[in-house]
Structure 1
């Protein structure tokens, strides 16, 4: 089984968000949770369109010869082969939640991603609806965050997606982006 240090991921997501201006203004938990929910909607749209990451080509192309900087080449390949796919959007959901955990200094215990397939075999829409329902509950934020992040890893495991790899690639991509990623918030 694969050990995942959520605290380390949370710290990195939070630091990248800070360095890109996402925490220059104090905002509510609901603001950040809604941004995570919007990423779930984007995952549904990617699924409806059958958009999945081409990880093999991405990895092979990163190793190949190219005529620009490593950062530029990474961004070009990411835009072409990973961005706006189901995997990328699930990584965005996780990063949004990890960032909020870092901001609020929530404890996300190290978790183990289950190898055995779970009951997270629901359709994409039902899975995302269940996640939204948990995010909306008025119980401890830390508990909600741990539950949803765990569900994301389980769903991805069930779908054959290496969510940790996608989170790491997306954080690298985000680190290369402009302030606020060119957005208002």
Structure 2
């Protein structure tokens, strides 16, 4: 699977701008805060799987129906909030959206293209859900900001870019192994997020 860098760049801008609009960047937070928030989305995906919260055939046919008939806007977002929010599909999209938001905050450069590796996809298929979640979470939490005084700015930025972009690919590989159309679910979750209240109805962070 290949995702164009232009598409990812659009997602980064959209996720960051929506986060600003909803008040998530009014208070300056350390990078560790945002990295932890990405990791919580992995945990929420595990919780969704534990509870059997996957889209079923009725959800899928209903989604297709509202997409086809949402001529004036609003139906898709309403259906999403009532039937898809909180599913594994939704939580995997959230991992990427959190990454995109932080990439926007840190002005991380997107790659020209993002290509999933079929061998990695097949490897994901052999693992339990929790094991794949562990490897994604470990990749996220292993991120450590290098000492700026010991590195040139260019090399420092290279390390940051590799970190973010590799996690995006790994998440797409995981989703692909599960038969999830992550492109569709990122777009759907972003549409839904744009309709939510300021601070999503009173969340602290």
The CA distance in 2 between the partners of 1:56 and 1:114, in whole Å, is: 28
Aligned partner of 1:171 in structure 2 is 190
Aligned partner of 2:3 in structure 1 is 3
Q: CA RMSD in A?
A: 2.0
Q: Deviation string for 1:138-172 (max 9, x for gaps)?
A: 26332221111111101111111011110011001
**Partner SS state of residue 120, structure 1:** helix
The CA distance in 2 between the partners of 1:12 and 1:174, in whole Å, is: 11
Q: Equivalent residues in 2 for 1:1-185 (5 A)? A: 1-5=1-5, 6-53=8-55, 54-64=59-69, 70-71=73-74, 73-114=75-116, 116=118, 117-121=121-125, 122-137=127-142, 138=144, 140-182=159-201, 183-185=203-205
Asked whether the 8 Å contact 2:93–2:189 carries over to 1, the reply is yes
Unaligned runs of 5+ in 2: 146-158
Question: CA offset at residue 96 of structure 1?
Answer: 0.3
The CA distance in 1 between the partners of 2:27 and 2:191, in whole Å, is: 24
TM-score, scaled to structure 1: 0.89
The change in CA–CA distance for 1:55 and 1:141 in structure 2 (over 3 A counts) is farther
Give runs of ≥4 in structure 1 deviating > 4 Å. none
The change in CA–CA distance for 1:29 and 1:55 in structure 2 (over 3 A counts) is farther
Question: CA offset at residue 34 of structure 1?
Answer: 0.8
Larger radius of gyration: 2
**Partner SS state of residue 118, structure 1:** helix
The change in CA–CA distance for 1:156 and 1:65 in structure 2 (over 3 A counts) is closer
Question: CA offset at residue 62 of structure 1?
Answer: 3.6
The change in CA–CA distance for 1:26 and 1:155 in structure 2 (over 3 A counts) is same
Asked whether the 8 Å contact 2:36–2:141 carries over to 1, the reply is no
Farther off after superposition, 169-178 or 136-145: 136-145
**Partner SS state of residue 122, structure 2:** coil
